[in-house]
Amino acid sequence: MTEQDENKPKPRLVFKDPFEQQTSDDTDRGWGESQGGRGLSWYLDQRPPHHGEK
């Protein structure tokens, strides 16, 4: 071992709570939604068939 190796800080293991961070699939963008607001056309497109014709 050289003197440089002795002066380097040793790596630490840091364990954090995984539930503290939001994952990408927790967002609208992760589900493929656009960033814009949902307008009337989006709601009309999402209407189930048993709710009548457009």
Phi first, then psi: give them for residue 35, nearest 5 degrees: -80, -20
Instruction: Report the domain count for the chain.
Output: 1
Q: Which two tokens stand for residue 14?
A: 């840091």
* Predicted local confidence at residue 49, as pLDDT: 87
For 18, the token pair is: 């995984």
Query: Can you tell me the distance from the alpha carbon of 22 to that of 44, in angstroms, rounded to the nearest whole number?
Result: 30
Q: What angle do CA 33, 42, 44 make, to 5 degrees?
A: 150
pLDDT tens-digit map of 1-43: 566 667 888 888 878 887 888 888 888 777 877 767 778 888 8
The residue ranking higher by pLDDT, 47 or 54, is: 47
Domain range enclosing 47: 3-51
Q: Is the pLDDT of residue 54 over 70?
A: no
- Determine the pLDDT at residue 29: 79
Q: Model pTM?
A: 0.31
